[in-house]
Every structure is written in C-alpha cells, then in structure tokens.
A and B are shown apart, each in its own frame.
Chain A
Amino acid sequence: MSLPLVVLLPFLGAIAAPLFAQGGRTAIAIASSVPALIALAALFPHWSVLSAGGTVLHAYEWLPALGISFSFRLDGLALLFALLILVIGLLVIVYSHYYLSAKENVAKFYSLLLCFKGSMLGIVLSGNLLLMLIFWELTSLTSFLLISFWTHKQDARRGARMALAITGGGGLALMAGILLIGNIVGSFELDDVLAAGDQIKAHALYPVALTLILLGAFTKSAQFPFHFWLPHAMQAPTPISAYLHSATMVKAGIFLMARLYPALAGTEQWFYMVSFTGMATLLLGAYIAMFKHDLKGLLAYSTVSHLGLITLLLGMGTQLAAVAAIFHVINHATFKASLFMAAGIIDHETGTRDMRRINGLWRYMPHTATLAMVAASSMAGVPLLNGFLSKEMFFAESLQLNLPGLWAWIPPIVATLAGIFAVAYSARFVHDVFFNGKPVDLPKFPPHEPPRYMKFPVEILVFACIMVGVFPTISVGPLLYSAASATLGGEVPDYQLAILHGFNLPLLMSFLAFFGGLLMYTQRQRFFDFHAQLREVDGKAVFEFGVSKIEDMAHRFTGWLENGSLQRYAMLLVISVIAVAVMPLAENGLYIGENGLSAVDWPTGIAAGVLIISALATARWHRERFYALVLLSVVGLIVALAFARFSAPDLAMTQLSVEVVTIVLLMLALYYMPSWTPVESSKGRRSRDLLIALAVGVGMTLITLAMLTQPFSSISEFFLENSKPGGGGTNVVNVILVDFRGFDTLGEITVLAIAALGIYAMLKDTALTPPPGDGLGHAWTRDNYPLMLRQVARPMLPLALMVSAYIFLRGHNLPGGGFIAGLITSVALILQYIASGMVWTQDRIPLRYHNVIGLGLLFATIAGAGSLAYGYPFLTTAFGYITWPFVGKFEVASALVFDLGVYLAVIGATLLALVSIGRLSPHSAIKSKGEGV
C-alpha cells in the first residue's frame, strides 16, 4: 500500500494546501512539506529489500483488458529518483517561502508544485508503462502551468506553450513507442518488458519503437535539436527552475532511458542515436552557455549541456558508463539546484539577472557568494567536489569507446572541449558576478544578504556536493550501487568511487579542461567578438514562426470550408455519403437477390404511382410553398397507407396522426414565412443539385431492391415467442416499445420532451409579424374561425378522447398504444385551437403543457423504477389479470403505467411546440396572458 500512497500523497496535498493559504505563507509551506515527509518515511522501510538488490511491487487491477494496471514498483533507480524529487522538493518549498512575495498567489503555487511532484513520483514509481505514460503527460501539463505561473507575462506564456508543445509532442511519440513495445512483449508491466530485452531487440519493429521512445526522452530532457524550449522555460519563478529544470522534469527523459536500459540498450541503433545526440547537446549547450548574459540563461544552457553529457554516457552502452551516468544525475541535481537557488537570491536582492550589471557582489553578500562559488566549482569539475568525480569517470569512458580509426578520437576531444567550455562558463558565473569591479546601476542598491533561512537549502545542497566529493563511498555509495544495479538489470561492474585514480589520461584531460577553460575565460572578449559574427539559429523564432504558419493555415482552411452556408454543408455531406456508399458497393456489386420479385396488385401500383409523382412534384414546384405543402401531405398519407398495406397497422396509425400534426405545424410556419421561394441559384447549380439528387435516388433504389430480394433471417423470433408469455401482450410492436426495449423508449420520449422545451425556450420572447398577404397577392381570410369548423370541432373533442382512450388501453394487445393515443389526443386538441382560437381554447383547457411533459416522464420512470423495488432490473414488467364487471377479464400490466407516461409526454411535447408557434404572432391575444400555456 505504501507505494501508491507515496504517489497519491502530493496530489492530496495539492487539494489540501490551498486551505492553509488563509493561515499565511508559513502555514501553507509547512502544510506542503507534510506529504514529502510522510512519503520519505514510507519509503524508508523498503531500503533493506532494495539494498539486497530486490524490488518492491504493489499492484492493483485497473483495466486488465487493456493491459493497464495500478502497479507501482520500487527498485534502486526508482528510489534514487524518488529521493531526489522528495528531498529537493522539500528544499524548494523552504526556499520558495522566502522567494515568493506576499502578493503572489501562494496557494496556486504550492498546489501546482505538489501536483507536479506527485506526477514525477508517478513516473519513477510506475510499474506499468501505460501508467507511467499518464504521469509523464501530467508532468508536461503541470510544468506548463508552473512555467506560466506569472500569467501576466507574455514571455512566460509563450515559453510555457513552447515547453508544452515540445514535451507534449514527444509524449505522443513516446505513447506510440510504448504501445509498440507492449505489442512486442505482450505486456505493459515493467518487469515483463525489462525481462524481454532480447525479444524486443530482435523484433523487426525495434528501430521504430526505439526511435519513438527516444523522441519522448529527448524532448523531455531538452536534447538537441529540441533543446530550445528549456532556456525559454526559464521565465518560470526561480524555485520552479531549480526544481523542474535541474533535478526533476528534465531528468525524466534520462530516467526513461535508464529505466528501459536493459530492454533497449546495447544495440548499434541505440549507440549511434543516443550517444551522438548526447554529444551534440553536450557541446552545443556548453558553447552557448558561455555567451549568455542572463544568469538563468547561462544555467539553462549549462543544464542542456549536462543533460547531453548524461545522455552520451547512457548511449555509450558500457556498464561503467551507465554507472557514471547515474552518478552524474545525482551530482548535477545537487550543484545545479543550488546554483539556480543562488541565482534566484541574486535576482531577489539586486532586481536583475544581467551579468553585465551584476558585478562585485562579494562585497555585499559574501555568504551567498561562497556557496555559489563552491557549487560553480563543482559544475566546472574542480577536485574534491562531486562534479569532479563523475566528470572524471566520463572522461575515462570517452576513451573506452571502440570506434574505428580516427572516429575514436572524437568522443575524448568533444569531452575535453565541453570540459573547457564548462570551466569557462563556471568561471564567468563566479568572476563576473562576485568580482570584476563594481555593480552597474542595479535596480536595488545596495544588495545585501537574503533572509537567513533562504540560504539554508543552498547550504544543504552545497554540503552534499562536498560530502560526495570527499567521501563518495560513504555518502552515496550504497544508493548509487543499488540504482546502478537496477539500471543494468542486476550486473554491476567493478568500479571505484575514489577521489584520485592515479595520474592517467582522464586526469590529464581534466587538467587540460581546467586550465583551458580559465584561459578561455580570460580571453573571453575574443570569443564574444567571434560569437557575435555567427548568426544564431533562434529556436524560439523558428517555433513561433511554425506555430503562426499552422494557425494561418487552419484559419484559411476553416474559412474556406466553413463559409456559413448550410447549402454547401448539406452538399458536402450528401456527396460524402455517396462516396462512402459507393466504395463498398462497387466492390461487391448490386444485384437482384435470389428471392426474386413478387407481383404488383393494381391498388398498390396506383398508390405508389401517385406517391412518386407527388414526391417529384413537391420538389419540382417547391417555390409555390403552399401547393408544395399540399403535395407533401399527399406523400405522407400514402406512406401511412403503405404501412397499412404491408402489415404494420401500428405504423400506419402513427404515421397518419403525425402527418396531421406535421402539416398543421408547417402551415403555421408558412403563416409567418414568405409563401414563395424566388429563383436565386444559377442554372448550373440547379443542374448540379439535380444530378446529386438523382445519384442518391438511383442509389437508394438499387440498394433497396438488392436488400428486398435477399433472403434474410431476423432476431425477431425471440420477440414473437416471448411477447405473450414474457411481456403479457399480443401486440408485439407495442410490447417491444414498452417492455423489451423500454429503456430506448424512455430515452426517446425524453428527446421529445427536450425538443419541445427547446422550442418553447427559443420562442419565449420572440415576436414575429406575419406578412400582410401570402406574397402572391391573396389577402388572409377575414373569417378567422369559420362557423362550420367551430361547430363540428367541439363535439369531436370528447369523441376523439374516447377513441384515444380505447386505442391506448388496447395497445398492449391490438394495434395502438401510448404513442398513437397521444398523437390522436393531440390532434383533437389542436383542432380546437384551429377552430376556436388560442384564447377560447386556453380558457377552457387551462393545461400547462410543461407539466404534462414532466408528468409523462415521471410516470414512465416510476413504472420502470418500480421493478427495482422488487429486486428486478430497471423497467421489468409485471402483469396480471383482473375481472372487471361488464368488461370481463382484463389485463393490468405495469407497462400500462409506462405507456401512460409515453402518452402524456407525447401530448405535452406536441402541444407545447405547436402552441408556442401559435403564440408567436403579436395578434394572438394570448400573448398578454403569458404563462397560460
């Protein structure tokens, strides 16, 4: 349990920390430290297992079908990184407490910091690659938020966006790589993957997977050519830089390479890709660092260079080089974090980070100066400090590479050159800042020592640098051994952590680097002049250019595609449908199936002819909207007849009543709309549309013909067999609606209700004046409510209600049911509105149709939920028979209540929609009564 807890604690802390913001900065800093302290305490008991070379695994099932599990795995490597994350995290919290001013949003700061810490711990402790990927992405997101912490600064936002784009893009590549690995191995569990190294390396997809995973690692660890995001991420508050950009975030890529070392390393591809990328990064970072006037810029490029160094070591592929890489991870984290903190103190006290203005600070802050000088010496690789030890190992390893001929000279030369640059920029950090004359108009003058405990974290880290440098075996020996053993899969080579290995070639290289670097620093003006001649490739400019290009393209594409014309969208949609349909049909062909054609009887043939003619005529004469509507209603009526003809009485009744309601609706709409469509589109467009329409029509004809003549089997046997015994009804269609597929129906009446409410909402405060005539020179009739219609309509209401009640009740056994009965009732009610007007009807039928809809949904849901009370699944029907006087034996089913819900919802929705439209006109007096509906 303790491992998931370690990862979870910071996230819990991130939620809890803001609660302490009220208590002041000290309270929240203390609260934020608690998760790390508990996590450290939780990790401590595992040391005995790890020091013996074992691993700790805490796994919980999550999505076994996808190979994702909550498995957390602790070994030496994970422990080393977890300790770096936790300990430096604690120091950063202490440091931030003094760094942040009271005006800053400390709650947000600590909360994000803890989120980041949890994500980082997640990466190093994950025992499942997919789980690790999730945390990997989380670090990209949280670091984005941390870099852009000062959201008012444009540079901070830009820098954060760049970091997110680069590391996020790498994350995508990593995901693809991990999926490939998982596919090759058959498992995403780290233990399985690490054990399957030979299988992975022998696989044909190994180069692809390796490249993708390395892309992820290189972008995260700012390797050339992706290094440029890191210097721009320096817009973050300095504690964040100290944490993310020295010890944790950028080390995630290194960690990944070390983690998968047994699975991926040891091949030529690995060697060339990793070591040459590392070499390029090492040299480039070290070179540029020298020319940065910004303190943090210098440190950022130096970080790039050191990350390149570690990458190069991992790329060499020898066991000793891997040990040196792990060792340098520790050393770099300690000296670089302390240097960032020192830079932050200087920035804090002088108000600037420009080294051309900051000079001679030794006089003002000797304590800080001493600490920074020790850390910088470690960065330069001065003996008796930890940086020296790992650099010495690096030099030794660079001589051990088995490269052919003159190539063998390249690594040691690059290493020495980078060493010279490193000494030079370290010397600049020390000399230019603390000596070199007097400060030049500092924003804050005179600078003085920071608060006592702001230096405390720096002191701890510098102390660690010295301890490791002088007593390497005692201080980090066991931890390094355990981490190296985990990285190398158990085989650790013989190595010695000694301060001096005798007078040998690596020592000579160190000397060369040291004095060469000092010489270079004294001659720096020449190098500055030389560098000024070079045209520096600005990664940021290239990136921003690319982003704005992509944005422009997207804008133009969207503007071109989305011109606001439904006509065009519909055309594209229809054409796409044709394309999608044609592709498979072209392959399989369309033909008349083996069932053949059956004979046509005369009445059906005539009706079909009328339907076809009416449909085509509707399209042909659509400009005369009213006539087109009449033709449309002919089509609808014949469709209803077709349902009746082909054994679907329920459908026929539904279609008939819907038809009436639809035509009334369209007539109402036509009252407000122009009744004539002018000719607007060109002849060409019309012919084109005609062609498209013909293609669809012919296609549908052929598809229907092919479908109808194929033999088929249906799943309906089940419904036919179980309708009576299982659902208690003989009308199978109705039983399907209210019982077998009751949940669907519940959803459908909900859609109906939402549509009606949407209509009501859309028209609530809208007024629309109808045109004075129909647009064709005819005035509206003055006889608003014809006497005959009024007289006929009134007695119709009770009759229609009776019929609908009958249809409703018999629905379970004979054609009918809630939908149809609801529609019939609606038609009867609408007839009253048409015949006698809004005011008259509303006065006599004071129904609020919203409530009717609500009641309907309530009934349907209660009927469904009722079965839950008896321990049956939602919407299980119960039924029984009772004998009524006069009527006889009568079936009562809970489905009837459900159907009643359907009935009410249909009435409510239909009438709410139509009445809303009816009230639209300012002439309609009901408007003044407002909420009468």
Chain B
Amino acid sequence: MADGAIQTNNSSGAAPPGSVRDLLRLWPWLRPYRGYLIFMLVTATLAMVVQSILPLVTAALIDGPIARRDTSGMYPLIGLALLFGVLEAVLFGLRRRAMTTSALAIETDMRRDFYQHLQRLPVSFHDRWPSGQLLSRVTSDLSTLRRFAGFMAVFFFANLAVIVVVLIMLVRLDAVLGISVCVVMAPLAIATRYYERQYNIEARRAQDLTGDLATGVEESVLGIRVIKSFGRRGQLLENFTSDAQRLREAELKKNRTLANLWTVIGSYPQLVLAGVTFFGVLAVAHGRLSTGELVAFITLQLRLNWPLMALGWLIAGTEETVAASARLFEVFDTKSDIIEPESAARLPVNTGPARLQFDRVSFRFPGAETDTLHELNLDIAAGETMALVGPTGSGKTILTALVARLHDVTGGAIRIDGVAVDRLALDDLRRTVSTAFEDPTLFSASVRENITLGLPDASDEEVREAIEIAQAGFVYELPYGLQTRVGEQGLSLSGGQRQRLALARAVLGRPRVLVLDDPLSALDVHTEALVEGALRRILSSTTALVVAHRASTVLLADRVALLDEGRIVAVGTHSQLLATNDAYRNLLSQKAETRV
C-alpha cells in the first residue's frame, strides 16, 4: 500500500506554491472549447480596435466637415461612427456569449471530473482528507478557475498586447525618450514579479484556510446533536471564530500584497510621466522635439495607465487561479492505491456461493507501527456461514473492509474461489461481495434507490425478497411506500429501521459472498428474532462472514472464528468453542446478563 503518498494538506504547513505549469495543465479541459477561446480573443481584440477607431472618426469629423461647416458632408462619417458604436457593443455581447458557453462548460466539466475522480479514491484517502478541503475545491476554487477561463485569460493577453503596442509606438515617436521609458519601466516588471510570487503563496494559504473553515462548518452541522447534548455552542463558536480569524489574517496579508502591487503599478508610471514631462520640455527647449510631438508622446503614454492597472488586477487573478489549480491537481494527481489489475482474472463461471479464503492476511493502518491483523488464516467453504467474534478493537471491522477491497491487505491475500481479490476487476469483485456495514448509511433518495444501491436494475421481485429477508416491511407503510424519500433530506428513520434497510441492500440479488458487520445490533429482541429467521434462508445459499457480538447472531453461523489482537485464535462450532475456549466463553457467555 502506497502509504504516505497522499499528504493531508495541513494548512499550518506551507503548501508548495503553484506555478504557471499548473495553468498549462488545465489545457485538456480547455481544449474542447479552444474554438470559443480563440473567438473570444478575436472579438476582444476587434472590440479594442473599434474602440480606438471611434475617436479617430470623431477627430476626422471635427477636423473635416464640421470645421468646414459642411453639414451634409457629416452624414457618412456620422453613419460610420454609429456603425462602430453599435459594432463595439455587438462584439462585446458576442464575446460574453462565447464566455457563457465555454467558461461555464469548462467549470462544469472539471467539477464533474473532480467528483468522479474523488468517488474512485480509496476510503483511506477520504479518512485522511478533511471534507471541507474537498468541498472548497469543488466550489470556490472552480469558480476562480471559471472567472479566469472566461475573462482574465483573454484580457491578460489583450492588455499585454496593448502595452507592447503602446511601448513600440512610443519608441517610434521618439527613440531616445521611448527607449528611456522602456528602460525606466523595467523595475516595474521586477517588482510585479516579486509581489506576484508572494501573492501566490498567500492566495494558496487563504484557499487552504477556506477549506479548513468549511471542515469546521461541516462538523458543527453534522455533530449538532452531540454539540447540543453537551451544550458546547460557545466552544464551537470560539473554534469557528479562531478559524475565521486565521482566514481573515490570511486575506489581509493578501490584501497588503495586493495594495503594494497596485500602488506600485499605479504610481510608478505617474512618476515616470513626471520625468518624461521634465525631459520632454527640456528637449523641446533645446529644439530636439516639437511641442506637438511632446503632447502626442504624453497622451500616448497616458494610455498605458489603464492597461497597466488592469494588468495588476489580472496578475492577482491569475495567481489565485494558479493556486486554485494547484489545489485541484493535488487531488487529481492522487491515484487510487486500490489498483485495478492490468489483466483481470475471471472467476470460475458459477452463480452459487463462492469459497472465501484469508491466506496469511496482514493489515497495517497507514502510519501505524504495528500490524492490526497478523498473518491471519481463515477458510470459509462455499455456502458456509462463518461468524467472526472478538473483543472491541480486535480488528473485526477492518477485516470486513478488506474483502471488498475498501482497503488493501498489506500482506498475504484474500481469495474468492481461489482467485486473489486484487486480481479481479473491482466491479466484478464488488458485485460478488456484498457488505453491510456497522453504520447503516442511507442516502437522500427513495427507499427503492437506497436498497438497489448496487443493482439499479433489480427487479421488483428481488427488491421485495430483500425487504422480506431484512424484515423491513415497514417501508410499505411509509407515506409513499418504496418511493418515499428517506435519509437526511427525507423521512428520518430509527436506528433499527436504517439497519434493516442496509441489510436489505446487502442481501439484494443474493450475492455470492455476504459480509455482515454486526447486522442486528440496533434491533429489538422481537425484530431480531424475525430477521434471524429470514436471514437463515439466504445464508444457506451464500457464503457469509458475519461479525457478531451476541450469541443469538452467532447461532446463525455454521462455524465461529475467534479473533483476538489481529489473530484467529480458534475456529469451531459455537458449542465446541463454548465448551473448550475460556476466552470465547467469557466473550459470549450471558451469565452476567442473566442476573436480572
């Protein structure tokens, strides 16, 4: 297992600053829309051209017909001015339309790919990554990216072009003065570069802290019952406030860098202008330059102001986008360590129960120093039901997660019908193995959707059977029957009801291997007896591994394996173990309970 490959990004540690390379990596998502992007660039440039022609038309009009007091001579030029005026607006509108289509599509595509990628990352990744960090990526980072793709990228180039053109014109107007301006402006580029880097690091930190804040929010909302129960509102607010304050400080740091950058970009050309005025007037005084030329030079140089200011703003936006892309690629670059086999093995064609073997299986949690499971051997024959019993913390839960490869073993192999699970295609494996977890997770969807989670095409008959086996007949009495929405956004069900739905989900379609993690813990005695009766029917036709805490559940099994400290210490029937094994007796004996 490639442990440590994923580093939780702890925002207190400095994240590596992103680079422009991260922007280039966006290309695969931009590519499908490159036509739009070029169109946007073209229309933006055309609009700028039109914009600069309009004053020329005005000037021609004033110098020409108006100066000549020639009213009828005005019409063609007025017409032209009107045409250009309308054209500018139309070009503007067209560009915005193109932006709507492309930038939004790029954002939507990336969001889709991000979600799809995340769904396929292993459980160990999700355990490690704070949820808010993922959420902030899919919301605020993607919006940043959309703004960049739709707007900034185009203007970045357009503005750079304007600046270069103006500088060239300045040089052509007066070589000495023009080149001097270019040289004197050079430090601006250096200063910009400096602030840009600083801003990148600060933007990254602020984005990370935004993620931390989202994590805090999510926990405060999901844990609301515990928070209320202990009356810890004040403490939560305090934690939230300190998170929000850290974010504020990071934002203010960004703000300071930005203020520096913008002030430098805004004022420095003004200082240069003062110099140009001084030396320009001197040049005129010494007859090296005409007054008209000086005025033209200064007017032209003034036209640099806006594109420079805009550039300052665009640079900030670009750096934010760089940081956002770096954050996104951190996740995109994480490869699942639950790897699909290159050439998947096939299970022997058989629809009956499969044999399940644990062959010297070891497991170690990422970052732990000792194994949780030690070279564990267990052989469950096809059609057999094996109960797994052991004290809290002995490793039962992780063992159940290994079969469907939610985690990979760190040693040994788990085999189904003799084929190691990591040689099977994941889809095949998870179709063969069905698991009911100790936490019965329901999604905000209809009852039917929740039961047919793994088999959306299950027939009504199959669903009915699964409901019966799990004794979940209560669903028919819900307001809309199987169409009733349950889960967080729907009807809330009791723990016992949720557990029965999770059980129905697991037994649906009679899986060849069934793994049940303490499937009856939340049921009352009466329901438990009913479920046990129904479960027996399906257990006879499938191979099952059932984690059990109670004798009543153990009795469902043909044999029992006793797990202690990550090792199977005994295997036998319930009565055998009860008779021969002290630890087992201690674990399942009800003596202490029967004192009532």
Chain A bound to chain B = no
Binding site for B on A (CB under 8 A): none
